[in-house]
Structure 1
Amino acid sequence: MSTRTDEELLEATRRGDGQALDELLTRHEPQVYRFGLRMCGSEEDARDVLQETLLAAFRELHAFRGDAALSTWLYQLARTHCLRLRRQRVGTPTEFQSLESPEAGRVAAEESLPDARAHARHLGEVLQAAILALPEDAREVLILRDVEGLTAEQAAHVVGIEVRALKSRLHRARLLLREHLATLLGEGAQGTNPGCPELTRELSEFATKEVDQATCVRLEEHLSHCARCAGACDELQRTVSLCRRIPGGAVPATVRAAVRQAMSRTLTD
């Protein structure tokens, strides 16, 4: 394993050392892939982001002046490709990947008990869904700071905003993430039946169907326009609203379960 620093590898690359370039890009592959996975939510998109980022780095490395760390520059490239990919794939169903997966760099210890592994995997899936439901600008700053561990200055450089603005955005992202986690974990959940015949009919109809984003959009539309339901179905409103914000069109199992539980509590109250 090489002990050369990024700076030393960069200098060697600029002198035409192809092996140094390969080593440099290989060193940063895991973090670029992890960022793409957590921003986009699927292995396929993460692989595309990784491939495009490394290709762009290969082509543009000569233009890298070293004003920021190489890792920060690579995050900027990955962010650009991830945003472009997301725009191209709006509405395309996505296969969600848990943060606890080996591909995300999180491998459970072999000696862990099966139920402990299952619990950790479930929490990882809940966390991933909660992060994906964040607005894109909130999601990226939270991933850069709290998941990837960049400093506020580095993260602000990647996103292209002032440090003060990044800290404000990160604060809001953390608060919203906490709300999403509470919603998905059913904390403080309490069903409230508003006595609305139309809502009861819709919930009964959806009880036998798969929960998808169309279901959530339809329910959210009813809850926001029905005078009888307004303010009386807070848990259901929060859950379907979170479901609707998941990018890609697919709904993770943890979100489907949360929506179905909220529907059940509303019906049986």
Structure 2
Amino acid sequence: MTSQDEGDHRLLEAARAGDKEALTRLLERHQEQVYRFSMKMCRDPEDAKDVLQDTLLAMARGVRDFRGASSISTWLYTIARGFCIKKRRRSKFAPVEERSLDADAAPEASRVADPAKGPHEALAARQVERAIEQAIAALDPKLREALILRDVEGLTAPEVAEVLGIRVQAVKSRLHRARLAVRAHVAPLLGIPAAAATPGTCPDVLTLYSQHLEDEISPDVCASMERHVEGCPRCRGTCDSLKRTLAMCKAAPASQVPVSIQNSIRAKLQDLLADFS
């Protein structure tokens, strides 16, 4: 159990015993991750705010019934996903407006630049970041939620399966498709070697590497792939591009919850906690 899980467990036990302060702290610990998930799934800041508020209030109402069979994160993502689906169904006939995943974040000019990078490197990094955001946004919702939960939020494949209510193998299948689609979108910006593959000799290193991440290939197959990649510049560059893509997905910053929605949640929570004892 991680220190985060241990802290959550202590707060959960106190909250279930009627400690209002513990419940408030528990909600605050998870609000940014729920908001980030909601932003990436809903694609609209207003919908994401509603999902965050509804999720945290639902958690507060149901905390006494939660028995800890799942992690708190898994429980929260399950709740948030349900509200995201409701939002998507209600707006499916509305005009679609493409927005940046960081539409509600600080403008680019106000971001703190990395002093270790020159202006050209910083610009290239932002271009790749935007390309990854666009690639994730373009995924089918079923693929997008699997990738976000696994490769952005860091849940295990079984935990993702629990949130989505599907089999683990189905999660892995969606992950492989989503990872390859995102990587293909950003490949031109990642400097993939242009050398052509040798017909009949190069394995599908992208699928194999994705399967390796989910423990789906044997040690012998893994060793064979590593030997091939070591001697094939094209496949080595191709595999490295997927590694870089997934690393950037994992490095996605937490979305800052707007002060206005924090205040709204706090006010509604106070009303809810008036009867909490």
| TM-score range for the pair, normalised by the shorter chain length | 0.5 to 0.7
SS of match in other structure, 1:38? helix
For residues 69 and 106 of structure 2, the distance between their equivalents in structure 1, rounded to whole angstroms, comes to 33
Matched residue of 1:54: which SS? helix
Instruction: After TM superposition, list the pairs within 5 Å mapping 1:80-99 onto structure 2.
Output: 80-90=82-92, 91-98=95-102
User: Offset of 1:19 from its aligned partner?
Assistant: 0.2
1:65 aligns with 2:56: no
How far 1:179 sits from its partner (Å)?
3.0
Q: CA separation in 1, counterparts of 2:165 and 2:127?
A: 34
Given that residues 45 and 103 in structure 2 are in contact (C-alpha distance below 8 angstroms), is that contact kept between their aligned partners in structure 1? no
Identity percentage over the alignment?
48
Match of 1:36 among 38, 51, 62: 38
Contact 1:144–1:150, Cα closer than 8 Å, also in 2? yes
2:131 pairs with 95, 117, 126, which one?
Answer: 126
What is the distance in 2 between the residues matched to 1:167 and 1:89? 29
What is residue 275 of structure 2 aligned with on the other side? none
Residue 173 (1) aligns with residue 173 (2): no
Q: Call closer, same or farther: CA 1:81–1:159 in 2, change over 3 Å.
A: same
Letter in 1 for 2:89: R
* In structure 2, C-alpha distance between the alignment counterparts of 1:4 and 1:149, rounded to whole Å: 17
- Code of the residue aligned with 1:95 in structure 2: it is R
Once residues 51 and 85 of structure 1 are traced to their aligned partners in structure 2, the CA distance between those partners, rounded to angstroms, is 13
Structure 1 segment 84-163 matched on structure 2, within 5 A:
84-90=86-92, 91-98=95-102, 108-111=112-115, 112-163=117-168
The count of corresponding residues between Structure 1 and Structure 2 is: 185
Contact 1:76 1:159 in 2 (8 A): yes
Greater relative contact order, per chain length (Cα 8 Å cut-off, separation 6+): 2
- Structure 1, unmatched stretches of 5+, are 189-269
Whole-Å Cα distance in 2 between the matches of residues 118 and 33 of structure 1? Answer: 27
Instruction: Name the CA shift for 1:4/1:67 in 2 (closer, same or farther; >3 Å).
Output: closer
- Alignment root-mean-square deviation, CA: 3.1
Q: 1:165 to 1:97 in 2, by over 3 A?
A: closer
Aligned to 1:215: none
Structure 2 spans left out of the alignment, 5+ residues: 194-277
Q: Distance in 2 between matches of 1:116 and 1:158?
A: 38
TM-score normalised to the size of structure 2? 0.59
Does the alignment pair 1:47 with 2:32? Answer: no
The offset of 1:167, in angstroms, is: 0.9
Distance 1:140 1:54 in 2: 19
Partners in 2 of 1:102 and 1:163 — Cα distance? 37
Instruction: Report the alpha carbon displacement of residue 57 of structure 1 after superposing the two structures with TM.
Output: 0.8
Distance change (3 Å), C-alpha of 1:149 and 1:76: same
Compute the displacement of 1:89 (Å): 2.2
Q: Is the Cα contact below 8 Å between 2:161 and 2:168 reproduced in 1?
A: yes
Q: TM-score under structure 1 normalisation?
A: 0.61
Q: Is the 8 A contact 2:39 2:45 kept in 1?
A: yes
Does 2:12 correspond to 1:10? yes
Post-superposition Cα deviations, 1:60-106, rounded to whole Å, max 9, x if no partner, equal 22221211001100010111111111222232435323499569xxx
Shift of 1:182: 4.3
